[in-house]
Amino acid sequence: MRATATLPPAALDLVGMREQVDSAIDRFLTAQAAGPVGHRMPELIGLLRGFLAGGKRIRPLLCVTGWYAAGGCGDSAPVTRIAASLELCHAFALVHDDVMDGSDTRRGRPAAHRAFVTAHAGHRTGVDARQFGVSGAILLGDLALAWSDELLHTACAHPDRLAAVLPYLHRMRTEMVYGQYLDLLATGRRSGDVAAAMTIVRYKTAGYTIERPLHIGATFAGADQKLLDAMTAYAVPLGEAFQLRDDLLGIFGRPRQTGKPTVDDLRQGKCTTLVALATRAATGDQAATLDALLGNPDLDDAGCATVRGILTATGATVEVEAMIRDRCRQALAVLDSAPFRPAATATLGDLARLATERIR
Ligand code: IPE
Ligand code: IPE
Ligand code: MG
Ligand code: MG
């Protein structure tokens, strides 16, 4: 037997894939800056470029991997542009999310609504700075969404293949907005309803972050339903695990690594799965303390430490870690028999580990 016969298949080149996606975004924004719109447009583009720096690009990477998994071959430029369009759509979602969540930092830099205030400090009179920043962020998010669509529709794709992708893109956007709405409704309403918290996760993250990007890439390559179903079976548990990790990092992470503060979810009173599990297990005293502290917009470091202590003491933190492990295992088990090309299967295994063991 040749030695190479037992080697696992080489995974796809994620670093190169990311570079190509970033370069597609860069070329698109450069073309927009040179376009016919007025002379203040470069300011907006500069803010958008600043915001785009530093993301993990998980959705574009999954989109290209999905394409390859489904047999995509030849020129990867069109699918790369489609993948890049997902990152612009993500920028829209995050810019607005930071307004909704009152988050001042994103990817280690000021969130867009804060960046607008700084960019225009001292140039306005009679306009509330906070309101100005929020308005600017709404516009920047709108622009990112509009350009995401433009980039997709100019992806040089064959019209039939692009048409096959659109239903999945439409679902992705609708599911994400619906999930964000459920998240909004649950904010400030602490509850022990873990199933309700997980429903939010499925809409706002599992479909949006893992399942639909894979489907979009795969349908572009002409995937059949069996292949799409296998992607769903991998993506749903992994997407849940991804958000559960995000919830833990959002409270226990290191801001220098995550690029996000660890007080926002607590000050907002987000009813994450972690909080729902703690609520179920809390003693009367612990529940009273959570009620007094969660959702307090002025919660200080000591208050945050008290909440963290309760999340740990109730066993909620350990339980969320176990849920992440279980779901990662489920996703990896799907790969054992999934009908994907071997290099894509290997890459999806790597991505599952990266997405659940991440520190940012
Ligand atoms: C953040 O997404 C929002 C969630 C769905 C958890 P990412 O964790 O992919 O953020 P970036 O794009 O890498 O900054
Ligand atoms: C954001 O969810 C999900 C989106 C669909 C944009 P979160 O609010 O939990 O994510 P972070 O922690 O701010 O990145
Ligand atoms: Mg949010
Ligand atoms: Mg948020």
Residue pair 155/88 in contact by the 8 Å Cβ criterion: no
**pLDDT on residue 124:** 65
> Alpha carbon 36 to chain centroid distance?
32
Of 4-13, 114-123, 147-156, 190-199, the one with minimum mean pLDDT is: 4-13
Task: Give the pLDDT band (50/70/90) at residue 123.
Answer: low
**pLDDT on residue 144:** 98
Of 309, 197, 282, 300, which Cα lies nearest the Cα of 291?
282
E strands, the chain, are 105-106, 109-110
Decide whether any atom of ligand 1 lies within 6 Å of the 103 Cβ.
no
**Nearest residue CA, atom 5 of ligand 1?**
205
Mean pLDDT of 5-32: 90
**pLDDT on residue 6:** 61
| Gap between the Cα atoms of 110 and 107, Å rounded | 8
Structure tokens at 216: 């979009």
The atom of ligand 2 lying closest to the CA of 179 is: 5
Structure tokens at 173: 């956007």
Beta carbons within 10 angstroms of residue 328's beta carbon? 22
In which residue are the tokens 């299967």 written?
345
**pLDDT on residue 128:** 86
DSSP, residue by residue, 143-168: HHHHHHHHHHHTS---HHHHHHHHHH
Q: How far is the CA of 68 from the centre of ligand 3 (A)?
A: 31
pLDDT digits (tens, 9 = 90+) for 235-257: 999 999 999 999 999 999 999 99
pLDDT digits (tens, 9 = 90+) for 129-167: 899 999 999 999 999 999 999 999 998 768 899 999 999
Decide whether any atom of ligand 1 lies within 6 Å of the 243 Cβ.
yes
The atom of ligand 2 lying closest to the CA of 94 is: 6
Task: Give the pLDDT band (50/70/90) at residue 39.
Answer: confident
Decide whether any atom of ligand 2 lies within 6 Å of the 175 Cβ.
no
Task: Give the pLDDT band (50/70/90) at residue 127.
Answer: confident
**Nearest residue CA, atom 7 of ligand 2?**
97
Of 34-43, 287-296, 329-338, the one with minimum mean pLDDT is: 34-43
Q: What is the pTM of this model?
A: 0.95
Rounded to whole angstroms, what are the CA distances from 92 to 86, 103, 312? 10, 15, 34
Task: Give the pLDDT band (50/70/90) at residue 171.
Answer: very high
**Nearest residue CA, atom 11 of ligand 1?**
55
**pLDDT on residue 1:** 46
DSSP-derived 3-state class of residue 105: strand
Q: Calculate the average pLDDT of the chain.
A: 95
Decide whether any atom of ligand 2 lies within 6 Å of the 176 Cβ.
yes
